[in-house]
Amino acid sequence: MTVAAADPAAVLRDLLPPEQLLTGDAVRPWGVWGWPPRTVAFPRSTEEAAAVLARASAEGWTVEPAGSGTWLWSGNSASPPDLVLSAARMHRVVEHEPGDLTITVEAGVRLSALDLHLAPHEQWLPLDPPGRCRTLGAVASTGVWGPLGAAWGGPRDLTLGVHAVTGDGRPFQAGGRVVKNVAGFDFVRLLIGSRGTLAFLTEVTLRLYPRPATDRTLVVRGRGLDDLVEGAVAAASQPVTPAAVELLERFLPWEQRWEAVLAVRVLGLEERVRAEEEVIRAVLLRAGAGPVEELPAKEADAFWREVRLLEEDMDLTLRFATLPARIGELVQLARAVGRMRNGRDALARSPVRMAIHGGAGALRMAVPNLRVDSGWAERWAERLEDLRRTVQWRDGSLTVTRAPAAVVERLGAWESPGPAGELMAGLKGVFDPAGILSVDRFVLDLDRHEPA
C-alpha cells in the first residue's frame, strides 16, 4: 500500500474537533493486527462520518471501520490502514418506542449498555455474540451470533434497518423501523456481515422481545464431549425449540471441573418453560452421565459468559459450521486441531477448548499457546487448509476467526466465494467506488477484481 501524500490527521482537523482524533502513540491500541493506523477518527454523527469518508475517498486513504476496536485482530491481515474510523463515540439511543418492540441506537452503543437501557422496560435483544465490549454496529457488521442464534436468528434476523455511509461519503438508509418491509432491494441483509467493506454503519434499528420472565439453564455432565453430542442433537430436534443448546468442553465453575457439559437454556413465560423443561430433562437424562441439574442463576450466568469469552486471549480461534444433525462429524474433525499441537505438556497446561451451538450446527474452537518453532506457520496453514477442504467436502465451512498473521496470510480467514466473488466485487464497487474500506481484510476476491 502506498502511503497517501496528505497526513490524515492534519486534513481531518478541518472536519472534526481535536478531541475526536488520535495521532502519534495514542493510535497504538487501534492497530489492525497490531499495525497502528496513522490516525483514529471518532465521528459523533452520520454527517461527520460522511465528511470524513468523502475526504478519505478523495485522498485515497485506506479506512478500517471499527466500533470499540475488538475486531481489529480478526479477519485477514493487511497493511496498516491510513485511518481507523470508530463509532465508539456514537452511543445515543435515537428512538425507543417500547410498544413497538423496536429500538434505534447509534452504532457505538454496546450490547451491555443496550441491555441496561432495556431492562427497566422488561425488554431484551436475544443476541449473545462472542467477545467483550461488542458494539451494535460491530455486531451488525460482522453478523456474528452465539448460542441464542439457533432460536432467534442472528443479527440478520433481528436488524430491521440501518443508517450508513458509503465509502465515498454518501449517507443512506436501508430497511426501516417496521418489522415487515419489502420496499426495494434488501440492503440490510447485504450489509449484515459485510465487515465494513461496503459502508460505515452509524445507526441500527433492532427488533426487541419482551424480557423472558423465566430463564432456566439445565445441565448434564459427561465424561467427554463425544458422549454428549447425541444428546445435543436430540435436544435441538425436539418439537420444542429451546433458546439455546450448548456443549462446552472443560467448564470450570469455581472449584469443580467438568470435562464436558451439555446445557440447555429454556426461557419465556413460566408455564411454557415448565412444560418445555419436562421434555428437555428427559432428553438430557438419557444423554448425560449423571443427574440433570438446574444451574443457579449465578452459575448459569458464569456458564454463558464462559461461552461468550471462549476466544478471549487465544492464539488461534476457529469457527466450524455444518448441519445441526451432523455436528458429531464436526467434533471429530475439529479434534484434529488439538492433535496438531506439539508437546503433551502444552496440551495439559492449556487445553484446546470447544463450544458447540447444538441447534445451529456451529462449533467454536479456541487454541492457546501455539508452539512457535521453525516452519510452524507453514505447517499450521497447510493443515488448516486440508481441514477446511475436508469440512467443505462435507458441506460445512471453516472460518479462521483469529490466527497469527503468518498463518492467516497463507490460509485466508474465509474460503473463496467462488464464482459469486465476481458479483461481490461488483457490489463492493457500488458502495465503495474508491476501494478504501477495509482493504484486503474480508474475502480476498473483493479487492482482486476491478469493480464493474
Site for another protein in 185-204 (CB under 8 A): 185-187, 189-190, 192-194, 198
Q: Among 384, 347, 385, 345, which residue's Cα sits nearest to residue 368?
A: 347
Residue 143 DSSP label:
-
Residues in 319-348 at the binding interface with another protein, rule: CB under 8 A: 319, 321-326
DSSP per-residue string spanning 247-261: EEEEE--TT--EEEE
Q: Among 56, 55, 60, which residue's Cα sits nearest to residue 4?
A: 60
Closest contact distance (angstroms) between CB of 392 and another protein is: 7
Using only C-alpha atoms, the chain has a radius of gyration, in whole angstroms, of 22
Closest contact distance (angstroms) between CB of 271 and another protein is: 4
In 325-412, the DSSP E strands lie at 353-357, 362-367, 397-402
Closest contact distance (angstroms) between CB of 313 and another protein is: 23
Say how far residue 334 (Cα) sits from the centre of its chain. Answer: 20
Exposed / middle / buried, residue 267 (Cβ in 10 Å: 0-12, 13-18, 19+): buried
Residue from 2, 14, 120, 239 in contact with another protein (CB under 8 A) = 239
Residue among 99 and 375 whose Cβ is closer to another protein: 99
Asked if 71 is part of the footprint of another protein (rule: CB under 8 A), the reply reads no
Residues in 361-380 at the binding interface with another protein, rule: CB under 8 A: 361-362
Closest contact distance (angstroms) between CB of 113 and another protein is: 22
Q: Are 165 and 49 in contact (CB under 8 A)?
A: yes
Asked if 174 is part of the footprint of another protein (rule: CB under 8 A), the reply reads yes
Closest contact distance (angstroms) between CB of 70 and another protein is: 19
Q: Are 398 and 320 in contact (CB under 8 A)?
A: yes
Span of 10-18, 167-175, 244-252, 301-309 interacting with another protein by CB under 8 A: 167-175
Residues in 83-142 at the binding interface with another protein, rule: CB under 8 A: 97-102, 122
The site that binds another protein (CB under 8 A) totals a number of residues, namely: 87
Residue among 55 and 319 whose Cβ is closer to another protein: 319
Cα(292)–Cα(168) distance, integer angstroms = 56
Residues in 423-442 at the binding interface with another protein, rule: CB under 8 A: 423-424, 426-427, 429-431, 442
Q: Among 150, 126, 151, which residue's Cα sits nearest to residue 139?
A: 126
Residue among 146 and 396 whose Cβ is closer to another protein: 396
Closest contact distance (angstroms) between CB of 241 and another protein is: 8
Residue from 26, 119, 223, 271 in contact with another protein (CB under 8 A) = 271
- Distances in Å between the Cα of 21 and the Cα atoms of 12, 47, 294, 437 are 8, 16, 49, 19
Residue from 2, 19, 183, 254 in contact with another protein (CB under 8 A) = 183
